[in-house]
Amino acid sequence: MDTQTQKVMFSSKSNEWETPQDLFDKLNKEYNFTLDPCATDANTTCSKHYTVEDNGLSKSWANERVFINPPYSEIGSWVKKASEEYLHNGAVIVMLIPARTDTKYWHDYIMKYASTIYFIKGRLKFKNKVIADYTGKADVSPAPFPSVIVIFDMGLGLTWSGGPSVKSMARE
Ligand SMILES: C[S@@+](CC[C@H](N)C(=O)[O-])C[C@H]1O[C@@H](n2cnc3c(N)ncnc32)[C@H](O)[C@@H]1O
């Protein structure tokens, strides 16, 4: 592996940082997720899932309850797809993403169409099986950024014109 690939693999630009299990369990209790559209067979949170070979962005998520921790290299495309599947295909969507409130996708899709944003108190610690396999150590790394849970939920969304409601959430 060359130095540049190693640098990305160990950085927040890696696509492989996994959702902390206790946070997923808390959300799953409420939403009972049916689809993880961005995963590997090893790190998926749901038995129904799409991998990079399937390209989850090209699939329909119609009527699914979807959990998304998107690849960090392409967050905007996943937020856009989430808003479309929510608005037009009856999907309920919960996303775990960095709180990058200055991005275009934040304003164009989240502020317009999301029903709720939960700002997570404290920094999440992420695992990464690709790094663990490479180093032989199952380390967890604290995120160098704050995280949010963004909800697109049909219950509120289509008639909701006042922007998302904003709340606080504990890490676990
Ligand atoms: C941040 S990880 C999330 C892993 C796991 N689903 C979780 O929540 O812990 C993002 C995953 O998306 C996968 N991925 C990247 N591009 C994808 C695509 N176009 N379609 C499906 N999966 C993709 C990556 O291989 C990576 O495993």
Q: Is 166 exposed, middle or buried (0-12, 13-18, 19+ CB in 10 A)?
A: exposed
pLDDT, position 12: 59
DSSP code at position 108: I
Cα→Cα distances 9→19, 56, 69, 129, Å: 16, 21, 17, 11
50 lines ligand 1 (CB under 6 A): yes
Q: Residue 48 maps to which CATH number?
A: 3.40.50
Q: Which domain holds residue 141?
A: 3-169
Q: Is the pLDDT of residue 10 over 60?
A: no
Phi and psi based region of residue 32 (left: phi greater than 0; alpha: psi -120 to 50; beta: remaining): left
Q: How far is the CA of 112 from the centre of ligand 1 (A)?
A: 25
154 lines ligand 1 (CB under 6 A): no
Q: Which residue has the tokens 């700002």?
A: 119
Q: How far is the CA of 55 from the centre of ligand 1 (A)?
A: 9
Number of domains in the chain: 1
Cα-atom radius of gyration of the chain, to the nearest Å? Answer: 16
65 against 130, higher pLDDT = 65
Q: What is the pTM for the complete model shown?
A: 0.90
DSSP code at position 57: G
pLDDT, position 161: 61
